[in-house]
Amino acid sequence: MLEADLLLEHAAELATPVGPAPRTGKSLGSLRIIPDAAVAVAGESLIFVGPTRDAQAKVRLRGGGLRLDVSGKTLLPGFVDPHTHLPFAGSRAAEFRMRLEGRTYEEIAAAGGGILSTVQATRAAAVPDLAAGALGRLDRMLEWGTTTCEAKSGYGLSLEAELKQLRVLEEVSRCHPVEIVPTFLGAHTVPVERRSQREDYVREVVEEMIPRVSEERLAEFCDVFCERGAFTLAESEKILEAGKRFGLKPRLHADQLSSGGGAELAARIGAASADHLEFVSEAGIERMAAAGVTAVLIPGAGFFLMSPHRPPARRLVEGGVSVALATDFNPGTCPTEAMPPILVLACLTLSLGIEEAITAATLNAAHSLGRSAVIGSLEEGKQADIQVLDIPDHTHLVYRFGVNHVETIVKKGALAYHRPASRMRRSP
């Protein structure tokens, strides 16, 4: 008999991708679906995933263990959000209103707003305030089903202010169940005071920031916003190669607002991911597939920027590229922490299937963070990161859009969130 600390049984459905990761082509859309399902957890790990009747034969609850009847609910792996800009101060609501009146994101940025306005607010913020903001956002992620997120600096743009953001991430990750994968994004844009000496800013990123971030073990990845108005291909390559020398794995914002060869660069340097890709070229798609670079698609940002341009999601899938989905949570282009609306947009605006979107938001996202052996699917031996959703099957996650279906979240085998009782009454 297997000895469990936690047993969830009689789920109406369990839906999960299964490894090996990443899932590409047709396998992106194939989920393992188990009706009347159970999962058993010992410590932080899943020890059983299967039909409830098999669990009854194979699993025994330890003394003091917890048995939950989840009949009528659907079990899914926790979402893995592989692209967020979590630690920042201030709001860009006023810019949002300007955009509603017809100004573009790039016009606002060129006039000193955009990323630079968040940089100003973030530099001025005290550490406890930045930490409090990040914790509130992590709470909302968890409430919407995210159990692991990548999180970038990039609103400091000076050695001290970048270190401040990364240290805040380190601190909040110690006291919050959502697991954080930190990324250094000192090359988000050239800060306003360095605009006349941009080569010197790139030099500082390469020679001072990257070594220090690496020495203090504050990040796992190095990212660059490779875009007109931000960093050129040559600058991006220089920065990402420097990151590699210091043990920071590359990922990048590529081909978001214009076609700039970002995807090709990602393939050339062996990046873990190229993100956005609204303007990816055909050659970029082929090289990403050959090099195993994950395409992190971000339908929330295109939607929120009212852009008519969409990444060629179907072409990426059919071209054999590993596709993942992210919020890109940030104050300018996608101010939501919630993954379910991103899945809805992926299905309705990028033509992903529901099962494809679920794999992209779990196992493939985990793969892009180098963690697909541990998280991203409900498989025996993996970490127990589980969503219990108050829906009869996984189709309802996308069909019943705009509603939070999360009832319970298990993170590393522990109950991390339970919806307040007053909201648990079922409405007809």
For residues 22 and 332, which CB has a smaller minimum distance to ligand NIG in the complex? Answer: 332
For residues 332 and 341, which CB has a smaller minimum distance to ligand NIG in the complex? Answer: 332
Min dist CB 226 to Fe ion, Å, is: 11
Q: Which does 225 bind (CB under 5 to 8 A by kind): ligand NIG, Fe ion, none?
A: ligand NIG
Min dist CB 296 to Fe ion, Å, is: 9
Q: Which of 284, 292, 282, 281 is nearest to 323 (CA)?
A: 292
* CB atoms inside a 10 Å sphere around CB 405: 19
> Is 328 a residue that touches Fe ion (CB under 5 A)?
yes
Of all residues in this chain, which one has the CB nearest to ligand NIG in the complex? Answer: 332
Q: Which does 322 bind (CB under 5 to 8 A by kind): Fe ion, ligand NIG, none?
A: none
For residues 297 and 323, which CB has a smaller minimum distance to ligand NIG in the complex? Answer: 297
For residues 328 and 355, which CB has a smaller minimum distance to Fe ion in the complex? Answer: 328
Contact 40, 6 (CB under 8 A): yes
Q: How far apart are CA 64 and CA 5, in angstroms?
A: 8
Q: Which of 139, 174, 149, 181 is nearest to 406 (CA)?
A: 139
Backbone phi, then psi, for 114, in 5-degree steps? Answer: 65, -140
For residues 115 and 274, which CB has a smaller minimum distance to ligand NIG in the complex? Answer: 115
Three-state SS letters, 225-239: EECCCCECHHHHHHH
What is the maximal distance between C-alpha atoms in the chain?
A: 71
Of all residues in this chain, which one has the CB nearest to Fe ion in the complex? Answer: 328
Min dist CB 81 to Fe ion, Å, is: 11
Three-state SS letters, 5-47: EEEEEEEEEEEECCCCCCCCHHHHHCCEEEEEEEEEEECCEEE
Min dist CB 106 to ligand NIG, Å, is: 10
Q: Which residues bind ligand NIG (CB under 6 A)?
A: 85, 114-115, 118, 225, 253, 256, 301, 328, 330-333
Q: How far is CA 259 from CA 41, 256, 273, in A?
A: 47, 8, 17
For residues 333 and 372, which CB has a smaller minimum distance to ligand NIG in the complex? Answer: 333
Residues with Cβ within 8 Å of 172's Cβ and at least 6 positions away in sequence, in order, are 87, 131, 134, 135, 138, 180
Q: Which does 183 bind (CB under 5 to 8 A by kind): Fe ion, ligand NIG, none?
A: none
Q: Which does 114 bind (CB under 5 to 8 A by kind): ligand NIG, Fe ion, none?
A: ligand NIG
Q: How far is CA 330 from CA 69, 71, 145, 202, in A?
A: 37, 36, 18, 23
For residues 13 and 150, which CB has a smaller minimum distance to Fe ion in the complex? Answer: 150
Min dist CB 285 to ligand NIG, Å, is: 20
Min dist CB 266 to ligand NIG, Å, is: 15
Q: How far apart are CA 180 and CA 207, in angstroms?
A: 26
> Is 227 a residue that touches Fe ion (CB under 5 A)?
no
Interface residues with Fe ion (CB under 5 A) are 328
